[in-house]
Amino acid sequence: MEQTVLAVSGLNVWDSLTGKLLVQDSSFEVKRGSCLAIIGESGSGKSVTCRAVMRLNRQALRQEGEIVLSGVNLSSLPEPELRKKRGKQMCMILQHGMRAFDPSCVVGVHLRETVAEHLGLGREETTARLKRAMEAVLLKDPLAVMNQYPHQLSGGMLQRMMIALALVLEPELIIADEPTTALDAIAQYEVLEQFVRLRERLDCSMLFVSHDLGAVRKVADELLVMRHGEIVERGELQELMSGRRPVHPYTRELIDARQTLQRHFTQMMGGGS
């Protein structure tokens, strides 16, 4: 029997200033060892959902609904306890690597502090583990990289550092909020490779949010399609993409858009004179 790492039911998120409902009655599950992708366009509520799971939305956004992480109900947990869970059991990887790190100190400080907070290891042990993790994500010369400021590193490198941090912390659930959107094609490819390897090494569950179907195809097992705050489609990724079963028209639109470009490209590569 597969265990469920994350179970969200009846999640509603609304803006208390304007009364607008941002996420409407969302319910979904992430099974242990599986990766759930949430696809949607800007404004569909996918990032809000992610942050709601960790209760990290800004003050004005209120939420209600049950969020159960490995049997513990997060929605009723007091803040100090929730803080302990964030990072250790749930790790978040954000869209803009540069904004995720403190711009006024070198990245090594941030990494060491986080590891020290959750794992309580000594300085040498922390550095050794970080070094190993960074080598695993193919960052050359980890110690030098740790002494750089965020603005000196490229987007792809910063994302890989977040993945390295996740490798060290070994969380149960990794929430990735549009991690490859701000990257160019090659960096995107490399970071997605790292995500795949991360899953293999840790056997953790993942919640992967994106607007790009191409990116999630590599990493995800299951798919959730959101539109205007509602979930319009859910199912196995392969099944949905293959067209074996009928899908919601919006999903069809997204898949077609993706495949049009892809087909054209393949034609150029394979066919043509």
Query: Residue numbers of the site for other proteins (CB under 8 A)?
Result: 15, 17-18, 20, 22, 41-43, 60, 154-155, 184-189, 192, 211-215, 217-218, 228, 253-254, 256-258, 260-262, 264-265, 268-270, 272-273
Among residues 134 and 192, whose Cβ is nearest to other proteins?
192
Minimum distance of other proteins from residue 183's CB (angstroms): 8
Among residues 76 and 273, whose Cβ is nearest to other proteins?
273
DSSP 8-state class, residue 29: E
Minimum distance of other proteins from residue 47's CB (angstroms): 10
Among residues 128 and 138, whose Cβ is nearest to other proteins?
138
Q: How many residues does the chain have?
A: 273
Minimum distance of other proteins from residue 272's CB (angstroms): 4
DSSP secondary structure letters along 147-188 = TS-GGGS-HHHHHHHHHHHHHHH--SEEEEESTTTTS-HHHH
CB 236 within 8 A of CB 223: yes
Among residues 1 and 185, whose Cβ is nearest to other proteins?
185
Q: Give 154's contacts (C-beta < 8 A, 6+ positions apart).
A: 187
Minimum distance of other proteins from residue 4's CB (angstroms): 29
Helices assigned H by DSSP within the chain: 46-53, 79-88, 97-100, 107-119, 123-136, 142-146, 155-169, 185-202, 213-219, 237-242, 249-270
Among residues 117 and 256, whose Cβ is nearest to other proteins?
256
Minimum distance of other proteins from residue 267's CB (angstroms): 9
Task: Give CA–CA dist 81/104, Å, rounded.
Answer: 28
Among residues 81 and 253, whose Cβ is nearest to other proteins?
253
Task: Give CA–CA dist 37/233, Å, rounded.
Answer: 11
Q: Give 211's contacts (C-beta < 8 A, 6+ positions apart).
A: 39, 40, 41, 42, 178, 181
Minimum distance of other proteins from residue 229's CB (angstroms): 9
CB 108 within 8 A of CB 146: yes
